[in-house]
Amino acid sequence: MGSVVLSLDAELAWGFHDADSLPEDRIAAARESWLDLLDLFDEFGVPATWAVVGHLLLDSCDGEHADHPTPDGWFDRDPGTSASRDEAWYAPDLVEAIEDASADHEIGSHTFSHVEFGHTTREVASAEMREAVEVAERGGRSVDSVVFPRNYVGHRDVLAAYGVKCYRGVKPRRWYDRGPLGSVAKLVGWSTGAISPTLVHPEEDEYGLVNIPASLYLFGFEGRARTAAERVTDDPVVRMAKRGIDRAATEGGVFHAWLHPNNLTEERDFDRMRAVVEYAARARDESGLDIETMGSIASAVKDHEPRPREPIGPR
């Protein structure tokens, strides 16, 4: 019997702070969507891994973070205020809402300030994990699971040094992920059912971490293609997700779907999530399919003793 994993990149404004402009509509919707998703998961008893940007756990800050070795300008958009004034940059209340939910969620890390680990130095990566772990520990939490910002995997040795157990790896590439012909095939295949999402098989890497690759981004089929497909058929992403869930139930392996709370800005986005979560819960109840967090998957792959901590840099 296989498993379904849902992971969320929980970032609010931090997911865009290094962009030329901020998508104000997505940022504004993200807090409400975060809470609506928690309600949906509770309704069906579905746990998820919430990979939270560490800065969101803060009640306040000075906005400078002078001891952080990121390049000048990295924290320019940090307002240096508090949760009561700038809810897009601080969200301890939303983190508490995850803990207060009925579903047995996991709070993981999305680094401290959304640095792309595949495009940064080891010094910066170390500072990101150090800050993320310290702010989590101040709230009595541990960091067992990490989702890399924008899926740029890097500096896995740093994760291991801070006691992390697992991370979300990159989705295995399929033939339809390459070139214009593949894009056309993807459009047709998702809509008709000719293509199924990849089941993944988590494995321990050379650093003792468990790699749990992604299977399907639940909001990777948008814009005109989505609108055109929905005119003639059901939501193609829901179809793909259902096929992934069915395959996990019958073939084994892990179907690992992911999203951002800020993806949900329209009613049809919530309809998509309800359809996927409800289908997964039904498969669990009828077939014995497991719905797990990244941390519980890692524990099944490797019987974890508490990982040795070898923090890098000042504490």
> Per residue in 167-198, pLDDT tens?
999 998 665 566 555 555 555 665 556 678 99
Between the alpha carbon of residue 258 and those of residues 50, 121, 147, 228, 314, the distances in Å are 10, 27, 10, 23, 34
pTM score over 0.75: yes
Q: What is the largest CA-CA distance in the chain?
A: 58
pLDDT of residue 231: 62
**What DSSP line would sit under 74-136, residue for residue?**
TTTT---SBTTT-TTT--HHHHHHHHHSSS--EEEE--SS---GGGS-HHHHHHHHHHHHHHH
Quick: pLDDT tens for 269-307. Answer: 999 999 999 999 999 999 999 999 999 999 999 865 655
Q: Domains in the chain, ordered, with CATH?
A: 3-173+199-219+254-264+288-301 (3.20.20.370)
Between the alpha carbon of residue 240 and those of residues 39, 179, 283, the distances in Å are 24, 21, 15
Cα gap 219→170, rounded to integer Å: 16
Q: Are 5 and 295 in contact (CB under 8 A)?
A: no
DSSP 313: S
R_g over Cα of the chain: 19
pLDDT of residue 280: 98
Q: What are the respective helix, strand and coil percentages of the chain, to the nearest 5?
A: 45, 10, 45
Residue ranges, the chain, pLDDT below 70: 1, 173-194, 222-223, 225-233, 303-309, 311, 313-315
Quick: pLDDT tens for 100-118. Answer: 999 999 999 999 999 999 9
- Count H helices and E strands in the chain, helices first: 9, 10
pLDDT of residue 315: 47
